[in-house]
Amino acid sequence: MLRKLCIFGVGLIGGSLSLALRRAGYCREVVGCSRSEGHLSRAVELNVIDSYCLDPAEAVQDADMVLLAVPLGAMGPVCEAFRHSLAADAVITDVGSAKASVVRAVTDAFGEAPASFVPGHPIAGNEQSGVEAAFPELFQGRRVILTPLANTREDARDKVRAMWEVAGAVVEEMGVEHHDEVLAATSHLPHLLAFGLVDSLARMGEREEIFHYAAGGFRDFTRIASSDPVMWRDICLANSEAILKVMTHYQQDLDSITRAVQEGDGKRLLEIFQRAKSARDRFCH
């Protein structure tokens, strides 16, 4: 069991983890911390957390697990605010989507990467945000990727793994750089495409008619464009190198499709569509 879990950023991810652990009886106390007292008060009303504190240094006192669920740009300042108040046995983990950025932020804040720091990323969530969107089943059967560092203590890694498994997640491990490359292709690029498409259509003439006649395919493809813009701005900036690499590859393939349409090359289009359908069907199966 966890004695005290301190969550910085009690939104969809942090709130859902708290609900899952509380339902399992795995955590004696959950304390939330952020700059918004109204947000934290709402989390208490919804029984997502037990209590809250606005002072990071006070919030982590006696905590044996600290979860960083704040935007990427806030990771460093939050760690700097509580680093001198952290218990010697406390484990630190996070839910950031760009691991190299988080590792740099935590390392800079502490002067070196703490041996108790276990970078992590739950591959879960939806386009909703905020504590009202939290629910305890969010991580059931979903993957959580841990990217432990060379100096990460084994007991700290095991403690974070156990916490996510109690929440229902399937825990895997990989290196920081590999994680960022994989997520750039499978998560970051799709969000960029969805945001970009909706913005492009919204700026076209007669846009009301365009959205009025949008069918299910449009809603399915662009659902993630309703995600938190600030969070995704930070992710794109933090993982820009890997994102640019996969965007270049995609742009080349998009140019190929464009040429096929221009040239009326039905055979080429059919090859691309069949290959894509086969790949997605295998993935879904």
Q: 228 — alpha (psi -120 to 50), left (phi > 0) or beta? A: beta
What is the DSSP code (8-state) at residue 84?
Answer: G
Closest by CA position to 96, among listed 213, 190, 188, 195: 188
Residue 269 has pLDDT above 80, yes or no: yes
Q: What is the pLDDT of residue 128?
A: 74
Distance CA 161, CA 172 (A): 9
Q: What distances in angstroms separate CA 53 from CA 33, 60, 281, one per listed residue?
A: 5, 9, 47
Q: Which domains does the chain have, with CATH numbers?
A: 2-174 (3.40.50.720), 178-284 (1.10.3660.10)
Q: Where are the alpha helices (DSSP H) in 52-175?
A: 56-59, 75-82, 99-110, 154-166
Mean pLDDT of the chain: 93
DSSP 102-130: HHHHHHHHHSS--TTEE-EEE----S--S
Q: What is the pLDDT of residue 206?
A: 62
Q: What is the pLDDT of residue 230?
A: 87
Q: What is the pLDDT of residue 207?
A: 64
In whole angstroms, what separates CA 112 from the centre of its chain? 24
Residue 131 has pLDDT above 80, yes or no: yes
Q: What is the pLDDT of residue 203?
A: 84
Give 216's pLDDT tier (boundaries 50, 70, 90): confident
* Tens-place pLDDT, residues 157-208: 999 999 999 999 999 999 999 999 999 999 999 999 999 999 998 888 666 7
Strand order through the sheet with 143-146: 120-122, 143-146, 170-173
Q: What distances in angstroms separate CA 116 from CA 74, 153, 177, 238, one per listed residue?
A: 20, 6, 20, 23
Distance CA 272, CA 196 (A): 22
* Tens-place pLDDT, residues 59-86: 999 999 999 999 999 999 999 999 999 9
* Tens-place pLDDT, residues 32-45: 999 889 999 999 99
Q: pTM score, two decimals?
A: 0.88
Mean pLDDT of the region 99-128: 93
The sign of the torsion formed by the CA atoms of 86, 175, 177, 122 equals negative
Give 214's pLDDT tier (boundaries 50, 70, 90): confident
